[in-house]
Structure 1
């Protein structure tokens, strides 16, 4: 099936879940606000039992929305890193140097007077995309092999470096700039603890699930039967968590709707700059279109589930940091759809030898089972 340029051609290839993800999130926000008004003491009830600093009902949602995403990561692809050292080095620089620095700069530029939202954006910038990139890469006809390796690589790097970079960008660098960071009291361990719980636990569970079931049932069964059923359940975890979060802070949101707009603006700018800079850098380095698209979408996407989990674990469920994390998926879906169109447009103009954009046969007329944060095979 040849990709068309009709305005709705890319959107139609998305599943209903992904196509209307912003709608589901808005609905969850509305339900949460309604519950908060109907049950003013809901927050106190949620805090009666905790997992570390997070109430157990919220912790369950945070863990569940991460597990399906990490169960689909192909960790075995990491063995192919040596074959394309230049490409993967470029990806690491874009994801773990350029991306965090750019988001930090935009957060301070757009939100100099709103430190809590600014911190939330910084957490998003550090949470590199580990799965949703696969669906955007597929729609833009990028390399599935390269995308799979980059997803696995980012998963490992987030375990190793997220807490260090979080402490650096939330505490050390703002201190150098003269900002008052004492009020936040963010330690490296507080971030590391949240990462170990809300990324480490589902990562181990996801890896064991893949290893165990592929040995028992085979890779084809796991990819074609198990993941399409497990993947969409990530949406349940995300929406469940959003409902409870907005039940606790819904009144603040209804009072400050412009804050949501202010959080959205740096995110839109971030997506545009990260994608275009990664795209043109990759082309200048001589990568093929397929490699360029994979590098660009991996650099532009973010793991909002992790950002939300860390924000809730470190700053609390009713914090501005957590709100910034929730706004992220609202902006990501329409922004990345637009970037798929841009990628295909740039392909025709900058890579004339690449030919027409052809969707893989197994995706013709349908979209892989999906969910937030990339619960796609």
Structure 2
């Protein structure tokens, strides 16, 4: 995230020397993330009233501290996107079709199946996991993709595509997987989600629309004033580190909000974590293999894999709390989502980079 120098084009030799490009902060990113998670859980557990105070700072069900952290996190990465190249992404039918199918057909179905296999006796946790599977990622995936040297332009397009489908399809899929399908399969009575299209749209606008507009305007105005080469050589290295600061701040706040809940129910957390681990493995490795099979270059294969494996934890938690209550098992499943997703996907960044290095050596 804090790489120096102009942003190289996908596939260029500059992006092959990953270790040389990484700053001190990026090189030990896993350490900082684990420390941020521990700090957040510790603060939430040890500071009386902190989680309650943080929870009150919200507008329309959206946590302002988390929103601020995500905006700071996403803005520098979106300012790196070369928006004049987006047509090359939208014209890639293999990428676009694969992303839609994986995110909106395969992903929710996989989570539904895993939730019933691993949690047949815990309906609240099972429902929470299914909600997590329906909330496709539109924010933090941009960070994982950038760290894995994925295609930034492709990530911007796929995230925008997920956002449009999230607004229109989330409620329908929630009804299908939580109410209709269980009845069809004889699994018992279904449950309904109390979430309006307006709230989902607001979530999309805040967590994607604002940083996307800011990133676009920064690049547009910066290139107009300085030219592309000077903009990428002088501006991007200055704002780049803020992505990491925003990520770490978001993690601290998120885990401070839920630290007491997580630590007070360790066995329940473990039950919820197991299907999540299987889900991330299936979605990431399966999608990465698909990308290779259909002939996508590494950059777009990585982007496809991370957009498939990531989830919109903020939306999942908000929906679970709004529908079932803040102390519900559904809400706990939503909270455990990022607890597992953050360390797993940062580990997959290293797996992805190792795969890239192997492909480069073979070439």
Q: Give the structure-1-normalised TM-score.
A: 0.72
Distance 2:153 2:65 in 1: 34
Which residue is 2:210 aligned to?
Answer: 201
Alpha-carbon deviation of 1:59?
3.0
Alpha-carbon deviation of 1:334?
1.4
Which residue is 2:316 aligned to?
Answer: 311
Which residue is 1:73 aligned to?
Answer: 81
Distance 1:15 1:304 in 2: 26
Are the structure 2 counterparts of residues 336 and 165 from structure 1 closer, same or farther at C-alpha, using a change threshold of 3 Å? farther
Are the aligned partners of 1:22 and 1:330 in contact in 2 as well (CA < 8 Å)?
yes
Asked if 1:214 corresponds to 2:218, the answer is no
Match of 1:189 among 176, 192, 198: 198
Distance 2:277 2:19 in 1: 19
Distance 1:48 1:275 in 2: 35
Distance 2:221 2:318 in 1: 30
Asked if 1:323 corresponds to 2:356, the answer is no
Asked if 1:133 corresponds to 2:145, the answer is yes
Unpaired runs of at least 5, structure 2? 1-11, 183-188
Q: Give the structure-2-normalised TM-score.
A: 0.74
Distance 2:177 2:127 in 1: 16
Distance 1:105 1:60 in 2: 34
Distance 2:156 2:251 in 1: 27
Alpha-carbon deviation of 1:124?
5.6
- The answer to which of 332-341 and 120-129 deviates more is 120-129
Which residue is 1:141 aligned to?
Answer: none
SS of the residue 1:185 aligns to: coil
Which residue is 2:171 aligned to?
Answer: 167
Q: Deviations over 1:132-160 (max 9, x none)?
A: 3244246xxxxxxxx24422321321331
Which residue is 1:177 aligned to?
Answer: 181
Which residue is 2:7 aligned to?
Answer: none
Q: Deviations over 1:116-136 (max 9, x none)?
A: 650463156454844532442
Alpha-carbon deviation of 1:78?
1.8
Q: Which aligned pairs between 1:348-359 and structure 2 lie closer than 5 A? A: 356=361
Matched residue pairs, number? Answer: 332
Are the structure 2 counterparts of residues 11 and 53 from structure 1 closer, same or farther at C-alpha, using a change threshold of 3 Å? same
Distance 1:171 1:31 in 2: 37
Are the structure 2 counterparts of residues 336 and 265 from structure 1 closer, same or farther at C-alpha, using a change threshold of 3 Å? farther
Are the structure 2 counterparts of residues 212 and 325 from structure 1 closer, same or farther at C-alpha, using a change threshold of 3 Å? same
Asked if 1:228 corresponds to 2:237, the answer is yes
Alpha-carbon deviation of 1:301?
0.5
Q: Deviations over 1:27-70 (max 9, x none)?
A: 22322233334432223433554322234333322332232232
Asked if 1:246 corresponds to 2:255, the answer is yes
SS of the residue 2:148 aligns to: helix
Which residue is 1:24 aligned to?
Answer: 32
Are the aligned partners of 2:136 and 2:162 in contact in 1 as well (CA < 8 Å)?
no
Match of 2:299 among 294, 316, 325: 294
Distance 2:129 2:205 in 1: 23
Are the structure 2 counterparts of residues 262 and 217 from structure 1 closer, same or farther at C-alpha, using a change threshold of 3 Å? farther
User: RMSD across aligned C-alpha pairs, in angstroms?
Assistant: 3.7
Are the aligned partners of 2:127 and 2:178 in contact in 1 as well (CA < 8 Å)?
no
Are the structure 2 counterparts of residues 218 and 136 from structure 1 closer, same or farther at C-alpha, using a change threshold of 3 Å? same
Which residue is 1:352 aligned to?
Answer: none
Are the aligned partners of 1:108 and 1:118 in contact in 2 as well (CA < 8 Å)?
no
Q: Which aligned pairs between 1:52-71 and structure 2 lie closer than 5 A? A: 52-71=60-79
